């Protein structure tokens, strides 16, 4: 197990450099970062040239990358468009997005798995069909539509929630945005759990559990669910990374100043430091989440052993 | 009588129609007695056992008639929860494939101990001790060290011992073993069968042994019921049936056992295939494959004729069959 973890951590190194380099190159072709600094006006050529040499933008791309990575390893992610340190932006943005992700994941686990179990055990019955159709609808509608619709109905028309989340973004204000963020994944979790439960419900060991005279609750939770959750855990684990980086749309709609919001601003202002910095961290989150899923596999299924 | 199955009917409602899996089965098991139920796949032997155990998949399965008397109480009239409490405590089942029948993600200790936690309200710590005790009893070496292991870490024979231990856990009065040795190596088969027979004697349990292995039957069974297309076609004390079968189907089964003194000769097989349960032939279900079939066999379903004391055969020509050996 220990050796496996070390090997996986070592494998992360090339992945980390590969992804950051790709992002760096992509941001580089995005446009002139100096032009963004001057706002809507045309920059004074002399000032622009001075800024370029100050930020090292006149050097070749590979040199810029090396300098940047060197700085990253000393904890310096550069400066954002408004003169703030990117690390400072991260310090305010990440806690908010983490809270949002937690809300979304909790929704996925609680609602998704419960619905999956209920429908999986009643395959072909009205409940099952209804939930299946609902999940299909949720999957087919883009997040910005559900987001805007809920904001309009719950926030503006009925006044149940605040349409816009305050800058502190406490948990209670993140409930609806979290649900919106989770919606598509939630539908997938439901379907995945349903299929897995329905498949395992016919397994021999479930029949054994019934023959042992165990109460139905125990048969379902202890014997059936435990085995059925293995694929679901994989999905939710990888989804952690996707939710954290993919909250751009949801954060825009509800004005949440999290990672997605800062990324959006960074792209809009052509500030490569912000974009590359945030994405680098997201890459790390993704890698960590994947490793965690693989380790969790071994916990859930003792037949899987890592050497 | 410990268990009495009376005129049991089980159907499966499928998309293609109603499959009549069990059509009026009668059998009984007394304490300490071993009944072997013999038959090909699809003869209804497992379905009958599942109905007794109460683990039939319903739907598609449906018990459409009959009684299952266990200690003089009709199981089919009991409430769900009452029935559940009988399972595991008073009757238990051993399945064919121990690898798939044991939960892959729970340790064998947890699976064994669970019986005591659920039915006896024991603490997990005490239940674990009981699990070790049980594993010792079915002679699993180093039980104490292996109680935390998972099913896949055991050999096939050891896994089947764990299945047996689980069935024995609460010392039930009836055990149903559904082809307990079919998935095992021949060398291990005898050991597992001996263990089962030994524990049965010790606890004076009734045992229903479902099998298609005639070799296993001869050693351990007291009486035999041969099933074909959901009916019992012959029932008899074990030695008499080997000496002189009273039904052409039983005769065919016995003839199809490979024998050393027939080396080099073609193996005997009953011609044809078991009937489709959606369309069981009228009259005696065996008539299309039977060498003795006459007009009468295609008309009425033959009743069980009393051949001798404790011996019945559902063949119009049981006398001729007996004599023609």
Q: Give Cα B286 distance to the centre of its chain.
A: 21
Encode burial over A18-44: b for 16+ CB neighbours within 10 A, e otherwise: ebbeebbeebeeeeebbebbeeeeebe
Chain B residue with the nearest C-alpha to that of A122 = B59
Q: Give Cα A2 distance to the centre of its chain.
A: 27
If you search the block for the tokens 């926030």, which residue do you land on? A155
A118-145 residue pLDDT tens: 999 988 889 999 999 999 999 998 888 8
Among B310, B113, B165, CA closest to B225: B310
Q: How do beta strands B17-29 and B311-313 pair?
A: unpaired
Q: Is the ipTM of this complex over 0.85?
A: yes
Mean pLDDT of A72-90: 79
Chain A residue with the nearest C-alpha to that of B148 = A302
- Name, of A65-74, A110-119, A148-157, the range with top average pLDDT: A110-119
Q: State both tokens at A154.
A: 């719950």
How far B83 CA sits from the closest chain A CA (Å)? 8
Q: How do beta strands B34-38 and B223-228 pair?
A: parallel
Q: How do beta strands B206-211 and B17-29 pair?
A: unpaired
Q: What residues in B contact A210, CB-CB < 8 Å? A: 55, 87
Nearest Cβ partner for A208 among B84, B95, B119: B95
- Output Rg (C-alpha) for chain A, integer angstroms: 24
Chain B residue with the nearest C-alpha to that of A202 = B57
pLDDT exceeds 60 at position B325 = no
A180-229 residue pLDDT tens: 888 899 999 999 999 999 999 889 999 999 999 899 999 999 999 988 99
Chain B residue with the nearest C-alpha to that of A205 = B101
Among B304, B291, B308, CA closest to B244: B308
Q: What residues in B contact A199, CB-CB < 8 Å? A: none
Handedness of CA B247, B252, B255, B256 (dihedral sign): negative
Indicate the helix (H) or strand (E) that contains B17.
strand B17-29
Q: What residues in A contact B88, CB-CB < 8 Å? A: 211-214
Kindly state the DSSP code that residue A79 receives in the 8-state scheme: B
Q: For testing the chain A interface, which of B101, B116, B119, B154 should be mutated: the one with the most A CBs within 10 Å?
A: B101
Q: What residues in A contact B87, CB-CB < 8 Å? A: 210-213
For chain B positions 104-123, those within 8 Å of chain A (CB to CB) are: 104-107, 114-115, 118-119
Question: In this structure, are residues B87 and B54 in contact, taking their beta carbons and an 8 Å threshold?
Answer: yes
- B106 to A301: CB separation less than 8 angstroms, yes or no: no
Strand partners, A179: none
Least confident residue range of A26-35, A107-116, B191-200 = A26-35
Q: Measured between CB atoms, does B93 come within 8 Å of chain A?
A: yes
**Sheet of strand B17-29, all strands in order from the earlier edge strand to the far edge:** B17-29, B3-14, B61-70, B73-74
pTM: 0.81
> How far apart, in whole angstroms, are the C-alpha atoms of residue A26 and residue A21?
9
> How far apart, in whole angstroms, are the C-alpha atoms of residue B108 and residue A172?
44
> How far apart, in whole angstroms, are the C-alpha atoms of residue B293 and residue A50?
108
- Report the half-sphere exposure of B148 (CA within 13 A, side-chain side): 2
| Alpha-carbon distance values, B270 to A255, B301, B324 (Å) | 78, 21, 17
- Name, of A15-29, A153-167, B41-55, the range with top average pLDDT: B41-55
Q: What residues in A contact B150, CB-CB < 8 Å? A: 302-303
Question: In this structure, are residues B209 and B216 in contact, taking their beta carbons and an 8 Å threshold?
Answer: yes
- A222 to B106: CB separation less than 8 angstroms, yes or no: yes
Question: In this structure, are residues B78 and B94 in contact, taking their beta carbons and an 8 Å threshold?
Answer: no
B255-281 residue pLDDT tens: 887 777 777 777 878 888 888 888 888
Phi, psi of A165 (to 5 degrees): -80, 135
Q: For testing the chain B interface, which of A123, A213, A216, A302 should be mutated: the one with the most B CBs within 10 Å?
A: A213
How far B22 CA sits from the closest chain A CA (Å)? 20
- B166 to A212: CB separation less than 8 angstroms, yes or no: yes
Omega of the bond prior to A219 within 30 degrees of 0, cis? no
Q: For testing the chain B interface, which of A204, A211, A298 should be mutated: the one with the most B CBs within 10 Å?
A: A211
A84-117 residue pLDDT tens: 788 888 888 888 888 989 999 999 999 999 999 9
Q: What residues in A contact B92, CB-CB < 8 Å? A: 211-212
Confidence band, pLDDT 50/70/90 cuts, at residue A38: low
Strand partners, B208: B35, B176
B31: left (phi over 0), alpha (psi -120 to 50) or beta: beta
> How far apart, in whole angstroms, are the C-alpha atoms of residue B98 and residue B310?
35
- B119 to A211: CB separation less than 8 angstroms, yes or no: no
> How far apart, in whole angstroms, are the C-alpha atoms of residue B130 and residue B118?
13
What superfamily would CATH give domain A91-300?
Answer: MetI-like (1.10.3720.10)
Q: How do beta strands B34-38 and B206-211 pair?
A: parallel
Q: What residues in B contact A212, CB-CB < 8 Å? A: 87-88, 92, 114-115, 118, 166
The CB density around residue B243, as the number of other CB atoms within 10 Å, is 11
For chain B positions 146-185, those within 8 Å of chain A (CB to CB) are: 150, 152, 166
Q: Measured between CB atoms, does A302 come within 8 Å of chain B?
A: yes
SS3 B226: strand
| Cα separation of the two ends of chain B | 34
| Alpha-carbon distance values, B272 to B230, B291, B298 (Å) | 17, 11, 16
Q: What residues in A contact B89, CB-CB < 8 Å? A: 213
> How far apart, in whole angstroms, are the C-alpha atoms of residue B318 and residue B307?
8
Confidence band, pLDDT 50/70/90 cuts, at residue A81: low
Question: In this structure, are residues A8 and A294 in contact, taking their beta carbons and an 8 Å threshold?
Answer: yes
- Name, of A143-152, B19-28, B109-118, B312-321, the range with top average pLDDT: B109-118
- B100 to A203: CB separation less than 8 angstroms, yes or no: yes
Domain with CATH 1.10.3720.10 in chain A: 91-300
Nearest Cβ partner for A211 among B55, B97, B119: B55
pLDDT exceeds 60 at position A271 = yes
Strand partners, B69: B4, B74
DSSP string, A261-282: HHHHHHHHTT-HHHHHHHHHHH
If you search the block for the tokens 């999290």, which residue do you land on? A258
The CB density around residue A170, as the number of other CB atoms within 10 Å, is 10
Average pLDDT, chain A: 84
If you search the block for the tokens 């001790």, which residue do you land on? B129
> How far apart, in whole angstroms, are the C-alpha atoms of residue A125 and residue B26?
36
DSSP string, B72-128: TEEGGGS-HHHHHHHBTTTEEEE-S-HHHHS-TTS-HHHHHHHHHHHHH---HHHHH
Confidence band, pLDDT 50/70/90 cuts, at residue A32: low
CB contacts < 8 A (A, B) = 73
> How far apart, in whole angstroms, are the C-alpha atoms of residue B218 and residue B239?
7
């Amino acid at each position: 197990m220990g050796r496996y973890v070390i090997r996986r951590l070592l494998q992360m190194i090339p992945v980390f450099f590969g992804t950051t380099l790709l992002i760096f190159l992509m941001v580089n072709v995005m446009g002139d970062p100096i032009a963004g600094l001057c706002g809507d006006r045309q920059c004074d050529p002399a000032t622009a040239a001075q800024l370029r040499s100050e930020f090292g933008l006149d050097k070749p791309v590979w040199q810029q990358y090396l300098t940047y990575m060197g700085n990253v390893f000393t904890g310096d992610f550069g400066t954002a468009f408004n003169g703030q340190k990117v690390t400072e932006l991260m310090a305010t943005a990440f806690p908010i997005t983490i809270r949002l992700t937690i809300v979304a994941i909790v929704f996925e686990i609680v609602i998704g798995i419960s619905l999956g179990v209920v429908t999986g055990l009643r395959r072909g019955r009205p409940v099952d069909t209804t939930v299946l159709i609902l999940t299909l609808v949720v999957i087919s509608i883009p997040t910005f539509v559900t987001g805007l619709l809920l904001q309009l109905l719950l926030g503006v028309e009925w006044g149940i929630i605040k349409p816009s989340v305050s800058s502190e973004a406490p948990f209670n204000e993140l409930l609806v945005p979290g649900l919106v963020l989770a919606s598509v994944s939630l539908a997938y979790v439901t379907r995945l759990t349903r299929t897995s439960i329905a498949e395992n419900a016919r397994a021999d060991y479930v029949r054994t559990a019934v023959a042992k005279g165990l109460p139905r609750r125990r048969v379902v939770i202890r014997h059936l669910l435990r085995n059925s959750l293995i694929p679901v855990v994989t999905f939710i684990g990888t989804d952690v990374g996707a939710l954290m980086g993919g909250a751009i749309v949801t954060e825009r709609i509800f004005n949440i100043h999290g990672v997605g919001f800062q990324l959006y601003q960074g792209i809009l202002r052509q500030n490569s430091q912000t974009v590359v910095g945030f994405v680098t961290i997201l890459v790390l989150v993704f890698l960590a989440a994947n490793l965690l899923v693989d380790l969790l596999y071994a916990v859930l299924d003792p037949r899987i052993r890592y050497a | 009588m410990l268990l009495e199955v009376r005129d049991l009917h089980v159907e499966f409602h499928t998309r293609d129609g109603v499959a009549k899996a069990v059509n009026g089965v009668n059998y009984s098991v007394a304490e300490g007695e071993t009944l072997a139920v013999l038959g090909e796949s699809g003869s209804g032997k497992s379905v009958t056992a599942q109905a007794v155990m109460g683990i039939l998949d319903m739907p598609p399965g449906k018990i459409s008639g009959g009684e299952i008397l266990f200690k003089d109480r009709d199981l089919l009239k009991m409430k769900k929860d009452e029935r559940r409490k009988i399972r595991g405590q008073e009757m238990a089942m051993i399945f064919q494939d121990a690898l798939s029948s044991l939960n892959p993600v729970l340790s064998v200790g947890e699976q064994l101990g669970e019986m005591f936690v659920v039915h006896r309200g024991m603490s997990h710590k005490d239940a674990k001790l009981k699990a070790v005790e049980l594993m010792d009893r079915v002679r699993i070496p180093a039980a104490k060290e292996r109680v935390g292991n998972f099913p896949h870490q055991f050999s096939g024979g050891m896994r089947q011992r764990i299945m047996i231990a689980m069935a024995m856990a609460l010392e039930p009065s009836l055990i149903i073993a559904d082809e307990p040795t079919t998935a095992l190596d021949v060398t291990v088969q005898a050991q597992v069968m001996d263990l089962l027979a030994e524990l049965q004697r010790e606890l004076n349990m009734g045992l229903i042994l479902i099998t298609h292995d005639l070799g296993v039957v001869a050693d351990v069974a007291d009486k035999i019921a041969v099933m074909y297309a959901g009916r019992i076609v012959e029932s008899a004390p074990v030695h008499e049936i080997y000496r002189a079968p009273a039904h052409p189907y039983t005769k065919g089964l016995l003839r199809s056992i490979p024998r050393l003194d027939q080396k080099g000769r073609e193996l005997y097989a009953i011609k044809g295939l078991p009937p489709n349960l959606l369309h069981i032939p009228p009259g005696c279900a065996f008539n299309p494959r039977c060498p003795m079939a006459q007009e009468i066999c295609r008309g009425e379903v033959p009743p069980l004729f009393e051949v001798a004391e404790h011996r019945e055969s559902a063949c119009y020509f049981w006398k001729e069959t007996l004599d023609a050996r």
